[in-house]
Amino acid sequence: MAILTILVVSLLAGLSMFTVRGASDDQLEVYSWWTGPGEEEGLAAMAKSFEAANPGVRFVNAAVSGGAGSNAKAILASRLLANDPPDSYQRHAGLELLDDVRSGKVQDLTGLYHQQGWTKVFPKGLVENLTIDGRIYAVPVNIHRANLMWYSPGTLKDLGLPGPPKTWAEFLQQAETIKAKGRIPLAVGPEWTQKHLLETVLLGELGADKYERLFSGGISWLSPDVTAALATFAKVLAVSDVKSAAGDWQPQLDKVFSGSAVYAVMGDWSSSYLEQSKKLRWETDYNVTASPGTDGVYDFLSDSFTLPTGSRRPDLARKWLVECGSADGQNLFNPLKGSIPARTDADPGLYQGYLDWALQQWRDPKTRIVGSLTHGVVANNAYNAEIDSALGLFVQHGDQGKFARTVEQQYRETQ
């Protein structure tokens, strides 16, 4: 009986493997963390265009929910370890790609770049962030901005506030008025949103040069400037709702637009959520400004797609990457996603409201561009993970010195 059961189970397993493998002949599994309003529609628009260009091929959306890839990245890591990659997966431009490249998990796309003429249509600095040891490893679909502060003009008016704060010192002053009127000055969400906040406070307090040098080892986490910036971060967090933080970035923003909180620092994926899901209008119902101290600085990140080693259909995956890198694909995706195109030749007329402003800022030669910490640009994965653990403890116990010493030491250990 036992032998019979084993035989039947093996036969079924064999059959199901056969079914999956058989089906995978004309399907492409694409992995991301885009399940929220706006981002889901943007991905679906590109998927539809990909299917239309490749009749008979099915786009399998393998998205895993959780802002900033908080769940998706962990599940992807176990799939990559088991040599069971999707046919293409989302990564950020920057040092986030390094592990995949060093461990041979992704294929070199330099040839595809030349074939498609992409080195001429993507900004040079962006291509540099996708290049490791002279080879290019991912195709960028967009540009996002991280250093933004979102608010309701109506709430500011009700509270008699003249406008959003231009510095963190001014924010802390406003926070006193806001608290006195029974509201929360700043809404935060889960740990990654707190790191996102830390990144913008560091950028605002240190300025772009020192921010960059901090993440390239040029200045110490124990230096007086960084010590002062971290003290500001602790004060900012103290006037936030961190003790009852929202579960993700959408409910974090909801607190601002229900009026219980006044500000939230978040990336510009917020714009599509606020417009499409909440039906709010830019400048009237919601507004946004550079996070305090960062006017004229664009803290960028870029969502990109890879060709994993072991993709079942590398031919189709390449076609998907062509969709991602094409002007048509980017123009379908970005207006829905709430991001601007990575390509420099996209049609600016498609980007309205907040996105028009974002595009102007991105393209303004006077804008200073720096890379995001939380979204993969300036720190490798090992260092980022160490910052996560140390920050979790800092937020919980408030030991700033321990945080700075740990992160300083981990920088050296993770390079």
Interface residues toward ligand GAL, by CB under 6 A = 33-34, 39, 67-69, 92, 144, 249, 267, 269, 301, 303, 375
- The DSSP call for residue 244 is G
Q: Distance (Å, rounded) from C-alpha 45 to C-alpha 152?
A: 30
- Grouping H, G, I as helix, E, B as strand and the rest as coil, residue 178 is helix
Nearer to ligand GAL, 202 or 377 (CB): 377
Nearer to ligand GAL, 145 or 318 (CB): 145
Q: Distance (Å, rounded) from C-alpha 285 to C-alpha 26?
A: 45
Nearer to ligand GAL, 151 or 269 (CB): 269
Rounded to 5 degrees, φ, ψ at 226 are -70, -35
Rounded to 5 degrees, φ, ψ at 89 are -135, 155
Q: Minimum Å distance from CB 225 to ligand GAL? A: 27
Q: Minimum Å distance from CB 269 to ligand GAL? A: 4
- The DSSP call for residue 96 is G
Nearer to ligand GAL, 226 or 377 (CB): 377
Q: Minimum Å distance from CB 306 to ligand GAL? A: 14
Nearer to ligand GAL, 88 or 406 (CB): 88
Nearer to ligand GAL, 145 or 312 (CB): 145
Q: Distance (Å, rounded) from C-alpha 100 to C-alpha 247?
A: 29
Q: Minimum Å distance from CB 359 to ligand GAL? A: 17
Q: Interhelix angle for 314-325 vs 39-53, to 10°?
A: 120
Q: Distance (Å, rounded) from C-alpha 24 to C-alpha 85?
A: 13
Q: Minimum Å distance from CB 92 to ligand GAL? A: 6
Number of residue whose CB is nearest ligand GAL:
67
Nearer to ligand GAL, 42 or 292 (CB): 42
Q: Minimum Å distance from CB 302 to ligand GAL? A: 8
Q: Distance (Å, rounded) from C-alpha 195 to C-alpha 106?
A: 27
Closest CA to 223 of 232, 214, 235: 214
Q: Which residue has the tokens 């830390």?
A: 198
Rounded to 5 degrees, φ, ψ at 248 are -160, -175
Q: Distance (Å, rounded) from C-alpha 337 to C-alpha 342?
A: 13
Q: Minimum Å distance from CB 94 to ligand GAL? A: 11
